[in-house]
Amino acid sequence: MQHDPQVVAQLVNHVARPKEAGIAIADEARQNTDARSRLHRAEAVAVLREAVESGVNHIDTSDFYGPHVTNEIIREALHPYRDDVVIVTKVGARRGADASWNPAFSKEDLTQAVHDNLRNLGLDAIEVVNLRAMFSVHGPAEGSIEEPLTVLTDLKRQGLIRHIGLSNVTLRQVEEGRRITEIVCVQNMYNLANRADDAMIDRLAAEGTAYVPFFPLGGFSPLQSSTLSDVAARLGATPMQVALAWLLKRSPNILLIPGTSSRVHLRENLAAAEVDFPDEAMAELDGMVPA
């Protein structure tokens, strides 16, 4: 299947780490878990390689996934990296021993996180580092990002970071960030059922700033709608392909990161770029009542 590189560049692949196994209670269980982990890792490597071969040139990651595992897989699959591959990572959070997400905003935390990403990806400099705000685990919440963003700006001056973005932020925080450094992208939750960022997307588009919706397919609660299913049936596509195609048509500054650990799902995601999306279908989906 051939893809338009300009379109595929927007269908970025968010590499999924191997599924986290439960705690084994016997040697046999541990051995079986190790075998499954090796299979998951091999498939993740294959997904990455096929994605890049298909024209995907934007890999979204973070060293706190795993932790470390996702970046190690990316390095195994793609290093040395092609010149056109852009790796975007995130800092500002860490996993707790109970699998909770906790803020990691200190100078030491952020500096260590950038160096961890560099080491595990095998890079001398990271193309884009997103600062993830952690004022609430439930979504964007107000709070000053000046101190942590100043740390990243200093690392940018040192040449360890080329560009800076923001994640899980409000429009006020974007404005605050721009007074400190150039902000090249914003990564927030957004999809057919969650449209709180409509105004932000339009403003960023007018200003030429990329918007990267995470959970474009609903995340832990996959999108389900009779309207979505009906439109997909008429267009000869899957509901998830239509949800991605809607995002691509929603605004020219939107870059997608649909997560997958399967080559089959990767191909389905890429095929969303080929969905013939008429205006009436767009209007019908626009009329869905968001959550």
Please give the positions annotated as active site: 65
User: What are the C-alpha distances in Å from 208 to residues 76, 252, 253?
Assistant: 34, 9, 7
- In terms of Cα–Cα distance, which of 138, 123, 128, 158 is closest to 61? 128
d(CA 15, CA 5): 19
Instruction: With CA atoms as reference, report the closest residue to 223 among 236, 241, 208.
Output: 241
Q: Is residue 148 a contact partner of residue 113, using CB atoms and an 8 Å limit?
A: no
Q: What gap in Å lies between CA 46 and CA 50, rounded to an integer?
A: 6
**Overall residue count recorded for the chain in this entry:** 291
Q: Is 232 helix (H, G, I), strand (E, B) or coil?
A: helix
Looking at residue 23, what DSSP letter applies?
P
Buried-exposed string 211-247: b where 16+ CB fall within 10 A, e elsewhere: bbbbbbbbeeeebebeebeebbeebebbbbbbbbbbb
In whole angstroms, what is the distance from residue 128 CA to residue 90 CA? 8
What is the spatial distance between Cα 137 and Cα 235, in angstroms, rounded to a whole number? 37
What is the distance between the alpha carbons of residues 71 and 63, in angstroms, rounded to a whole number? 6
